[in-house]
Structure 1
């Protein structure tokens, strides 16, 4: 290592072996990968070698080793094959690019994600929240239950549309919703026969993907055409930045480059925040004490008015609820990387071309770093407790230079929306509603989350 002596080759990581274990792993991966990975961690420890048919992955679960891959030696770890299926929808955008091209794209969109820019979006976020919560009044009065997953998706789509594209996307939510279900299902490799069938073969799975992509492209192309036609004035939204971007030779970005970047922000930007918010409402419905504390804080600080960006520091419990939700239910539950060269991580051998999976879903429940890890306890994120956590025991937005560019935006949206819900409604679980998690790109419950809501006196 540092003394100039050659690095030892490292040990081969433990993990399941033999044909039966291979079959079990593949079946578990297809059915419920998060549960499989957690089970393997309990059995084998913090680095697990998992054969999955055509390729072998390493589950990298200890905070120090996660930091090594995402931060200290990130130059050796590329997006790799784990992101191939993202390209079906996002093409070559920020999420799928590597190296200099990624840096160039990041530079173009960076201004939109600076703190000042995100702070300026707060009113857009509270407006989008009000649109949805006003609609809840009648359901609350009649005691109907609501599936909060599509509701939160519509809310974040509305906020994102206005902030990023200067476009009202609320009317599109009924078309975007079903398309997004297909998108998140298709973007994770599960090794099913449908997924391995070439795109050109018109099986139902491929036809569903084509239809979803057509819906998304049509909306994106319409947004771009309106900007090109000058319908949005001299704005500094995402579309304007992309249309003004120039490549190294001074030429405009191609239509496809612009579209890929918008698709990336469109999909990554509302799906993950919407999922996080839906889970937060679920946890509040299950934890009455936390819900009442959140309400009391909002009442004390806001006194009935909508929150603004300046109120967030005064709403620490709201932040703690959001953080604890993202610990238990990280919308992006898996960060895959491929090793560009042979490496050794925490004493374990990682071969060139091997896949390394960082799994927030498992690390966020690691018994060495979290007491009673399956319980919902916002107090874990008090300032004192937070300071005692190792940096990568909690990483819902990834880390290192590839940390999610929209993390600030997601956090602000969650804080504002949670405070506003707590002001107006009480949330209750609907008995016997199933909660099934599937192996998809985001951690969204497939049958939704049904909650009953009652109005609070205003």
Structure 2
């Protein structure tokens, strides 16, 4: 979609209401008029990234978007992000999209609020302590080495879907590092999560207006996928209950222990299901998407690939990485950070104002749906020179002092900062290092990767690449 699609003329634009003499806090952001709602809804369903990009381009850092019976307040400045996510975070609960995803995901850590969220975070947080995450480096490296072997076996056989390969990898790593369980037996899990994401976006775009019992093909697929995930979760919980691990410091063990005191079997089963489905989705999908975009961008920028390869060979030689090595893979880390700038794993952070507020001089009514969009914020020309260019040097050591802290939010910010960020960074760094040391992945001729903004920013339709030994 081009920018003019959101550039209404004088007759169909709602200007920002003028502030009253008594209070400038009632000034609302500018945006398209409500008469354009049908067209805007259609564009949101078709290409959400272009809608957000065009809105910021045409209306500035604060935009009012009419979407059906709701009005979205889209804020696109680091100061706005800080206000919503950090300084006044208690006023902003999870909003449109995540609220509607509850039908698909339940009340896990991603969608819950209040005391339930605090209790869930308390249970899971210790699993992500730095010392425990550091101990997972060996397991991550072993799984990455298996990936290299699988990819090498496909050399000369035609394109490999890298998105599928990264999904298989990250599920294997998640099973070993967080659940102390082997997920390879559940070969349907990746497909089921894809269906769940589709349903979550459908719920967001329809504002949950379509009853769950309506026999649409998509809803039937979702019910099948949900049943499959519940079966997997039940099997994992039963296995852990019957065979506790020696140390019991993995997520699965901690959930079993935390829910053991719940007298209601139905509640206990539902809580376990919600927690594990959320963990399994968030724990593999974000890193798989980031890795997919990384290998695409490295193929498009051969000089960057060469520099990563040389650094990895210099630091690791022919051995697997240790935790100490990660701090020496400086350029590899810079590349990863730049990938997450262009293609943030979580592309949008929806919130709902509990009480009225003021952001950037604009009034936010109580109950307003508020959007912070890392995808557009990471490309804001005021804070990023040549924002669409892939340039890992932006993240050279020491340059973080040059940018606004809240212009870069790949893992969010504030109390709901991604609990698994440290594991995700470790995982991605190790995988990039071992793959680039051994292999070169080349995009299939004629294929143009397209971002698909679901719950994560994945590659639409997969990423076919051919495998070549170095």
Where on the TM-score scale, by shorter chain, does this alignment land: which range? over 0.9
Q: Distance in 1 between matches of 2:260 and 2:71?
A: 37
1:64-83 C-alpha deviation (Å, 9 max, x unpaired) = 11001100011111113432
What displacement does 1:409 show?
0.9
Contact 1:29/1:190 (CA < 8 Å) preserved in 2?
A: no
User: Counterparts in 2 of 1:364-375, with a 5 A limit?
Assistant: 364-375=378-389
Whether 2:33 is the aligned partner of 1:17: answer: yes
1:27-59 C-alpha deviation (Å, 9 max, x unpaired) = 111101111100110000001000011211011
What displacement does 1:18 show?
4.4
Contact 2:97/2:203 (CA < 8 Å) preserved in 1?
A: no
What displacement does 1:386 show?
1.9
What displacement does 1:163 show?
1.2
Q: Distance in 2 between matches of 1:430 and 1:327?
A: 24
Whether 2:221 is the aligned partner of 1:205: answer: no
Whether 2:243 is the aligned partner of 1:230: answer: yes
Alignment CA distance shift 1:433-1:210 (3 Å) = same
Q: Distance in 1 between matches of 2:148 and 2:351?
A: 39
Whether 2:271 is the aligned partner of 1:257: answer: yes
Contact 1:118/1:408 (CA < 8 Å) preserved in 2?
A: yes
Q: Which runs of 5+ in 2 are unaligned?
A: 1-21
Cα root mean square deviation, aligned: 2.0
What displacement does 1:282 show?
0.6
Partner residue of 1:76 out of 68, 72, 91? 91
Aligned length: 448
User: Counterparts in 2 of 1:120-139, with a 5 A limit?
Assistant: 120-139=135-154
Partner residue, 1:181 = 194
What displacement does 1:192 show?
5.5
Partner residue, 1:280 = 294
Q: Distance in 2 between matches of 1:260 and 1:149?
A: 25
Contact 1:82/1:337 (CA < 8 Å) preserved in 2?
A: no
Partner residue, 2:15 = none
What SS is found at the alignment partner of 2:99? helix
Alignment CA distance shift 1:363-1:180 (3 Å) = same
Q: Distance in 1 between matches of 2:284 and 2:325?
A: 23
What displacement does 1:248 show?
9.6
User: Counterparts in 2 of 1:39-118, with a 5 A limit?
Assistant: 39-118=54-133
What SS is found at the alignment partner of 1:383? coil
What SS is found at the alignment partner of 1:68? helix
Q: Distance in 2 between matches of 1:189 and 1:61?
A: 25
Partner residue, 1:196 = 209
Q: Distance in 1 between matches of 2:404 and 2:256?
A: 41
Q: Distance in 1 between matches of 2:210 and 2:351?
A: 24
What displacement does 1:271 show?
0.6
Whether 2:355 is the aligned partner of 1:347: answer: no
Q: Distance in 2 between matches of 1:225 and 1:249?
A: 16
Contact 1:79/1:96 (CA < 8 Å) preserved in 2?
A: yes
What SS is found at the alignment partner of 2:32? coil
Contact 2:100/2:208 (CA < 8 Å) preserved in 1?
A: no
Q: Distance in 2 between matches of 1:438 and 1:324?
A: 19
Partner residue of 1:429 out of 438, 443, 452? 443
1:159-205 C-alpha deviation (Å, 9 max, x unpaired) = 00111111111342x41222122122222256666963211122211
TM-score by length of 1: 0.93
Alignment CA distance shift 1:346-1:189 (3 Å) = farther
TM-score by length of 2: 0.91
